[in-house]
Amino acid sequence: MSTAEPWDVIVAGAGLAGLVAARELAAQGLSVAVFEARERVGGRTWSCAFPGTETTVDLGAEWVAPGHHAALVAEYERYGIELLPDGEAGLPRTWLLDGETLSGDLPLDDAERAAFEAFIGDLVAEAEVLTGQPAFTSSPGIEVPFADRLAELPPRVAAVLSSLATSVMGALPSDVSVVGMLDDMAEIGAKPEPGEDGENGFARSSQRRVEGGVGQLADRIAATFEARLFLGAPIAAVAQDADGVEVTLAEGTAHRARGLVSAVPVNTLADIAFRPELPADIALLAAEKHSGQAVKAIARVAGMPGDAALSMWPPALTGAIGIGTAVAGWDDALVICFGLPETLDPTDPDALTAQLRRVFPEARVVEVACHDWNADPYARGAWFAPKPGQWALLAAFLQPHGRVVFAGSDISPTSLGYMDGAVVSGRAAAERIREVLGA
């Protein structure tokens, strides 16, 4: 069964990229339909109340770097959404490195710190060489596992860098391309604003959270744009012909449009049957999938300070950040915990308790809020982290596939893997599909 009236554009996915693209297209007078598989908008952003409270927490994407994420900050200003003060800056950090408990921003002696800073300096210089080149071009020398670069470093320096890399990328250093780390540290193609370089040389580590949760942005776009939104409508197939595209939903209904913006995560693309088939590089990345597999849980923890930060290597728990309390007067802290699926079950309070007690002996997890993005069929992973060899594949997403264009934080040429990248990519996709349609 088909719709009686075709749309100008169908958008697949109501994450930030899809919603921004739909809003821009509808504002320019095109008829737009957005089909979202979930019963909510926002994609891998999702804000909800922590159990038993009215305090909003974010189960997915959360942090914003104002000096780097200009497109995202402009969206917040447009909808009157406020950023919280930089509460994480200067938190006392504890490190558990190979079973040894240490403290300080960098738990390194003078010689180790010199090796660390030299390593970071070399990486930043390497990233600057790539700045200004076409998106997603690199040399074979940086399409290798980040772990390879750590092999000759002093053991503690390698442990610190491994912990930071795993936390930032949501994957082990052995599974992440060097160029992915370069992009995250120096954001290839974009310069940080003065004063926005983060501690330890990580260009975007100076980040803030959003008052009331990041999910507000998707909700407000969806509530005010002129596109037609369909929730609970997963797409099963996309077929093109000379006149347009036909999108078939999982329940069998077909809808026609002159063009399509595909704004679904890269790791879910293989679940949609495209005809003609996707270009080789896109199909390869869709089949291989990126390596971002971070597990996130927000835990109510007794016996642990609410202003602590924790890093570990080996990564049983890749990191933990205290964000205060959910209710005024609570003694218990809210702690954001990160891990990897092979080492941490975020739904198991006892497992979280055991890991936190390695540093905070009195810690006890009382309640947990989390979402398994790896098992989620409409995500199949966390934020984008490229495997060695995948960087160059991303260039294919910047070109139309007939009447289909692509959007999403996974493929954005700037702020790759961040909410800002989703906004940038959504705007670019709106322009690209207008060019395809001759609108």
Q: Which amino acid is at 270?
A: A
The pTM of this model reads 0.94
Q: Where are the alpha helices (DSSP H) in 332-411?
A: 349-356
Parts of the chain belonging to CATH 1.10.405: 112-197
Q: ω into residue 107 within 30 of 0, thus cis? A: no
Inter-CA distances, 419 with 23, 371, 416, Å: 16, 18, 9
CATH code of the domain made up of 7-44+213-290+379-437: 3.50.50.60
What's residue 219's pLDDT? 98
| 58: nearest Cα among 69, 47, 66 | 47
Q: State pLDDT tens for residues 307-316.
A: 889 999 999 8
Q: State pLDDT tens for residues 111-128.
A: 999 999 999 999 888 888
What's residue 205's pLDDT? 46
Average pLDDT rounded to a whole number, residues 419-439:
96
Parts of the chain belonging to CATH 3.50.50.60: 7-44+213-290+379-437
| 72: nearest Cα among 223, 221, 224, 230 | 221
Q: 1.10.405, 2.130.10, 3.90.700, 1.20.120: which CATH number matches 112-197?
A: 1.10.405
Q: State pLDDT tens for residues 157-188.
A: 999 999 999 999 999 999 999 999 888 876 54
Q: State pLDDT tens for residues 273-282.
A: 999 999 999 9
Q: Could you tell me where the beta strands, DSSP code E, fall in 314-371?
A: 319-322, 333-339, 364-370
| 414: nearest Cα among 49, 65, 42 | 65
Percent with pLDDT over 90 in the chain = 79
**pLDDT exceeds cutoff 70 at 3:** no
**pLDDT exceeds cutoff 90 at 12:** yes
Q: CA 343 from chain center: how many Å?
A: 20
Do 409 and 415 touch, CB atoms closer than 8 A? yes
CA gap 249, 247 in Å, rounded? 7
